[in-house]
């Protein structure tokens, strides 16, 4: 396969101002008729190139006459003589055979589409690139009994009955859009409906469409939708623009959801929620994804991307917008902690490994592989830094300017940065390196205090590590929020400063530092960097108790835990006392929000500990972490009990405070179990049985699944399985909880589960719940004999035949071989090589595996 390069971008030679699509829907064979009005763009003789993938052409005409067309490596080419033509094609496609879930496919009795990034070419011949903007009118006909509901983008304009038990519907989308935003859904669906009145007084009909048994689980999503619509008006001045906004939930979906104009299609896991089946984490994720897709209506749809290298233009910005939205709905501090935790879990390793790429990549083989944590989450951090540098008013002015200038067009990352510069009156030339240089910058910070003069000096230094194709880097602009605290009075020494570190090295001077200062740096995680300081355990403990930025407080505690755990892995033992005391302090501080406490007392994950080490030793890391957990559990036993009992509610309530209490309960239960208390498993079992909500139930199940009490563990798993048999989303939890278990028999269990009658690779959620979850279980996946690697490779080879996109997403854990000892590295490479040799390997997998081996 040939790489697509950003530098090769050429504007389209033909535009398609209008298309009329006519679908004769049938799961086995659907006939698609397309009438394209095409228009020559500029002075050239190039033929019209239409993409097509797996289409069976029935007829192709130009201006009513059979066309002269050639098959090309990516579709067809038609030589045209005039400025404007009417090109008509008719093709046959087979939704039921579509296991890739790209294009038009069948899921649980529905027919639905997924076109981003390049699925539209699997539906009809079309220039499948985001800079071709077209007005769509769509007609669908289908069997009325099987498919009573027919939805598409835009507004409904007609419907009626046809002969033979069929019916039709017509939809019109007045907004020109790229074909990746096209969607249709046909099926037996019911809607949870409501009306939203925009701030200019237009009424919008909202509908969340599901199969009828799921209707009761849609209230949360609907409420989140209305909250997001209002929020985007209030915070960004963006109003909704069509008369209807529909969301459909489907069970088989390659990722979270899709922002098709006026017709979002969702993985059902990000719509359906009720207390019995969804955890608090699920509730939050539903609201965040609903908001994210809704926000795309402006950041993505009204202003779209010129080419796929600009993907972060819509994704980074929209993630930033959904993060800000979620922060406004509950605890902003806890939200920031969660976002940074997932950045560190997914993006930092990506940026440090063989798949590292800039936020605006330069080349790809398969664009689907670039829907990454770097494009999304690092992209959001880049937007956040611009917001920090500009301040809220100028940032808002910049976003207004961006939307004004580029509404109705396909824009670039450069356009966004220019709008920020123009509205903010700032020069972001050097800042642009965040888009072109990959790798996580490292900052070292050393603070020196001169007791006599009352001066302090902060010495900062930055380095950006080499990444594939980028051996040498320039210094970047790092906005570092920092503050000093006096270690004697425990109060702030001056106000917070925003330092823009632009050079390799810099020095910041502080006056009237009258007592020994402690450095609080990168507060709020103002820059997505790794900070190295020489702060002692005592200083970190001090900050964890006294810093007035909650994120910085959390961060100090994490650093203290990390230093302790890394020392334990390196030397086989470490002084646990400072961590124990800091956790005690946090647990007993009556002024802290319980939700914050629950986050702050959690130890860093096995894999984040691994990221700090030159060579990951999964077994030693696991032992060190368990030892510290046990020590915390035993030494603070009474506190965990008090916290556990104090956080008990009589009945489920969905509020930030109640969520915080549930979180404290489950975290405390985990520590009680880690302490080895004799009653731990009966306590967990009681919580498991008494729970009136999934957070408590799954929290208890996780504790039991990790426990050595075979009887309790197996009983809980059986009860859980039987209670939720038939509920796919909850069974996913049953699979993933076992795949994430720290029990020594996890690998054997996972292999057994891969033969379970409820296991299938055909459903992406299910595949991820077992294979995806297992491959991030650092200890089990990295079993020294390579059996974990072999299992995952076997599954990926099988999955690639069905669904390359979902398979390729699961490659990165195997690509981490450089981080391990020689024995494991060899075993991992052997599995990657075996995958690479598989006949008929997809382009998706070839790219991911090939890069992972390099």
Token digits of residue 364: 């790809």
Q: Which is nearer to ligand B3K, 304 or 388 (CB)?
A: 304
The reply to whether 366 sits near ligand B3K by the rule CB under 6 A is: no
Q: Which is nearer to ligand B3K, 170 or 251 (CB)?
A: 251
Q: Which is nearer to ligand B3K, 368 or 559 (CB)?
A: 368
The least distance separating ligand B3K from the CB of residue 372, rounded to whole angstroms, comes to 10
C-alpha dist (Å) from residue 657 to 288, 595, 660, 661, 698 = 18, 7, 5, 6, 19
Among 60, 208, 258, 383, binds ligand B3K (CB under 6 A): 258
Q: Which is nearer to Zn ion, 318 or 586 (CB)?
A: 318
Q: Which is nearer to ligand B3K, 259 or 599 (CB)?
A: 259
The least distance separating ligand B3K from the CB of residue 353, rounded to whole angstroms, comes to 20
Binding mask 272-311 for Zn ion (x = CB under 5 A): ----------------------------------------
Helix (H) or strand (E) holding 134: strand 134-143
Binding piece for Zn ion, criterion CB under 5 A, among 45-53, 172-180, 316-324, 734-742: 316-324
C-alpha dist (Å) from residue 352 to 464, 616, 665, 818, 833 = 11, 14, 35, 10, 21
- Considering only residues 486 through 545, tell me which ones interact with ligand B3K, judged by CB under 6 A: none
Look at residues 667, 746, 733 and name the one whose alpha carbon lies nearest to residue 706. 746
Among 245, 270, 317, 371, binds ligand B3K (CB under 6 A): 371
The least distance separating ligand B3K from the CB of residue 278, rounded to whole angstroms, comes to 20
Distance of alpha carbon 102 from alpha carbon 123, whole angstroms: 9
Binding piece for ligand B3K, criterion CB under 6 A, among 290-298, 382-390, 641-649, 697-705: 290-298
The least distance separating Zn ion from the CB of residue 319, rounded to whole angstroms, comes to 7
The least distance separating ligand B3K from the CB of residue 847, rounded to whole angstroms, comes to 14
Among 9, 196, 236, 255, binds ligand B3K (CB under 6 A): 255
The least distance separating ligand B3K from the CB of residue 376, rounded to whole angstroms, comes to 7
In which order are the strands placed within the sheet that holds 65-66?
Answer: 65-66, 56-62, 84-93, 30-40, 14-24, 134-143, 166-177, 155-161
Q: Which is nearer to ligand B3K, 125 or 364 (CB)?
A: 364
Q: Which is nearer to ligand B3K, 255 or 652 (CB)?
A: 255
The reply to whether 732 sits near ligand B3K by the rule CB under 6 A is: no
Report the 10 Å Cβ neighbour count for 223. Answer: 14
Q: Does the annotation count 689 as an active-site position?
A: no
Look at residues 198, 76, 181 and name the one whose alpha carbon lies nearest to residue 130. 181
Residue nearest to ligand B3K (CB): 116
Does 117 sit behind a cis peptide bond, omega within 30 degrees of 0 on the bond before it? Answer: yes
Q: Which does 257 bind (CB under 5 to 8 A by kind): Zn ion, ligand B3K, none?
A: ligand B3K
Question: Cα-atom radius of gyration of the chain, to the nearest Å?
Answer: 28
The least distance separating Zn ion from the CB of residue 259, rounded to whole angstroms, comes to 6
Helix (H) or strand (E) holding 329: helix 311-329
Active-site residue, from 293, 315, 366, 831: 293
Q: Which is nearer to Zn ion, 380 or 770 (CB)?
A: 380
The reply to whether 259 sits near ligand B3K by the rule CB under 6 A is: yes
CA-CA-CA-CA torsion sign (77, 83, 88, 93) = positive
Distance of alpha carbon 140 from alpha carbon 254, whole angstroms: 24
Number of residues that bind ligand B3K (CB under 6 A): 12
Query: Is the CB of residue 745 less than 8 Å from the CB of residue 708?
Result: no
C-alpha dist (Å) from residue 737 to 135, 334, 503, 724, 773 = 46, 24, 46, 14, 8
The least distance separating Zn ion from the CB of residue 292, rounded to whole angstroms, comes to 6
Distance of alpha carbon 35 from alpha carbon 349, whole angstroms: 47
DSSP 764-776: HHHHIIIIIHHHT
Query: Hey, which residues are catalytic here?
Result: 293
Name the site residues for ligand B3K (rule: CB under 6 A): 116-117, 255, 257-259, 292-293, 296, 315, 368, 371
Name the site residues for Zn ion (rule: CB under 5 A): 315, 318
């Amino acid at each position: 396969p040939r790489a697509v390069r950003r530098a090769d971008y050429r504007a389209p030679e033909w535009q398609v101002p209008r298309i009329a699509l006519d679908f004769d829907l049938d799961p086995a064979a659907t006939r698609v008729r397309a009438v394209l009005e095409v228009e020559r763009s500029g002075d050239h003789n190039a033929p019209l190139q239409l993409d097509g993938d797996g289409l069976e052409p029935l007829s192709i005409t130009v201006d009513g006459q059979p066309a002269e067309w050639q098959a090309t490596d990516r579709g067809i080419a038609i030589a045209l003589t005039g400025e404007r033509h009417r090109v008509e094609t008719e093709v046959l496609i087979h939704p039921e055979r579509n296991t890739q879930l790209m294009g038009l496919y069948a899921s649980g009795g529905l027919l639905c589409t997924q076109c981003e990034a390049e699925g539209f070419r699997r539906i009809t011949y079309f220039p499948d690139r985001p800079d071709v903007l077209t007005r769509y009118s769509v007609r669908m006909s289908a069997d009325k009994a099987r498919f009573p509901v027919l939805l598409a983008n835009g507004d409904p304009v007609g419907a009626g009955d046809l002969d033979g038990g069929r019916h039709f519907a017509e939809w019109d989308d007045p907004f020109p859009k790229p074909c990746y935003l096209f969607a249709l859904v046909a099926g037996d669906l019911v809607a949870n409906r409501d009306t939203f009145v925009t701030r200019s007084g237009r009424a919008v009909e909202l509908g969340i469409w599901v199969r009828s048994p799921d209707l009761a689980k849609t209230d949360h999503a609907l409420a989140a939708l209305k909250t997001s619509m209002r929020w985007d008006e209030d915070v960004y001045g963006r109003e909704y623009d069509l008369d209807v906004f529909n969301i459909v939930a489907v069970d088989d979906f390659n990722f979270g959801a899709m922002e098709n104009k006026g017709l979002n299609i969702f993985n059902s896991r990000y719509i359906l929620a009720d207390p019995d089946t969804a955890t608090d984490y699920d509730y939050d994720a539903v609201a965040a994804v609903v908001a994210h897709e809704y926000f795309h209506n402006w950041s993505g749809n009204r202003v779209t991307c010129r080419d796929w290298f600009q993907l972060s233009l819509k994704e980074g910005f929209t993630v930033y917008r959904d993060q800000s939205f979620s922060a406004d709905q509950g605890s902003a501090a806890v939200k920031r902690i969660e976002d940074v935790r997932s950045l560190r879990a997914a993006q930092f390793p990506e940026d440090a490994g063989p798949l590292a790429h800039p936020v605006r990549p330069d080349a790809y083989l398969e664009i689907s592989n670039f829907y990454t944590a770097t494009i999304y989450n690092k992209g959001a951090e880049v937007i956040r830094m611009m917001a920090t540098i500009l301040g809220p008013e100028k940032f808002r002015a910049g976003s207004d300017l961006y939307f004004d200038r580029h509404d109705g067009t396909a824009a670039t990352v450069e356009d966004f940065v220019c709008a920020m510069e123009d509205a903010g009156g700032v020069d972001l030339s050097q800042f642009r390196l965040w888009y072109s240089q990959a790798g996580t910058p490292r900052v070292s910070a050393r603070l020196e205090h001169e007791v006599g003069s009352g001066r302090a000096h902060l010495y900062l230094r930055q380095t950006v590590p080499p990444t594939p194709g980028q051996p040498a880097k320039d210094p970047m602009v790092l906005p570092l929020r920092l503050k000093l605290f006096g270690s004697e009075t425990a109060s702030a020494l001056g106000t917070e400063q925003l330092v823009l570190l632009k050079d390799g090295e810099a020095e910041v001077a502080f006056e009237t530092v009258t007592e020994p200062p402690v450095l609080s740096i990168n507060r709020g995680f103002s820059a997505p960097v790794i900070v190295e300081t020489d702060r002692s355990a005592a200083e970190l403990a001090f900050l964890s108790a006294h810093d007035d930025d909650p994120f910085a407080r959390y961060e100090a505690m994490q650093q203290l835990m990390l230093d302790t755990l890394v020392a334990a892995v390196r030397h086989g033992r470490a002084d646990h006392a400072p961590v124990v005391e800091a956790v005690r302090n946090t647990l007993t501080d009556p002024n802290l929000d319980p939700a914050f406490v629950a986050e702050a007392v959690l130890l860093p994950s096995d894999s984040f500990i691994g990221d700090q080490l030159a060579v990951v030793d999964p077994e030693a890391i696991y032992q060190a972490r368990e030892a510290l957990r046990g020590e915390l559990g035993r030494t603070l036993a009474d506190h965990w009990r008090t916290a556990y009992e104090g956080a008990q509610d009589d009945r489920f309530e969905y509020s930030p405070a109640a969520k915080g209490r549930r979180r404290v309960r489950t975290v405390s239960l985990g520590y009680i179990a880690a302490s080895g208390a004799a009653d731990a498993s009966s306590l967990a079992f009681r919580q498991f049985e008494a729970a009136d909500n999934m957070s408590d139930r799954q929290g208890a199940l996780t504790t039991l699944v990790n426990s050595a009490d075979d009887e309790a563990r197996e009983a809980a798993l059986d009860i859980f399985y039987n209670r939720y048999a038939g509920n796919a989303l909850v069974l996913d939890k049953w699979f993933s909880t076992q795949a994430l278990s720290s029990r020594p028999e996890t690998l054997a269990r996972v292999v057994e589960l891969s033969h379970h009658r409820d296991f299938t690779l055909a459903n992406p959620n299910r595949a991820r719940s077992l294979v995806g979850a297992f491959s991030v279980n650092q200890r089990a996946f990295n079993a020294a004999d390579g059996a974990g690697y072999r299992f995952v490779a076997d599954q990926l080879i099988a999955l690639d035949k069905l669904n390359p996109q979902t398979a390729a997403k699961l490659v990165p854990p195997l690509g981490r071989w450089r981080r391990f000892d020689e024995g494991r590295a060899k075993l991992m490479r052997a599995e990657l090589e075996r995958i690479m040799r598989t006949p008929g390997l997809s382009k998706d997998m070839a790219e991911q595996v090939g890069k992972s081996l390099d």
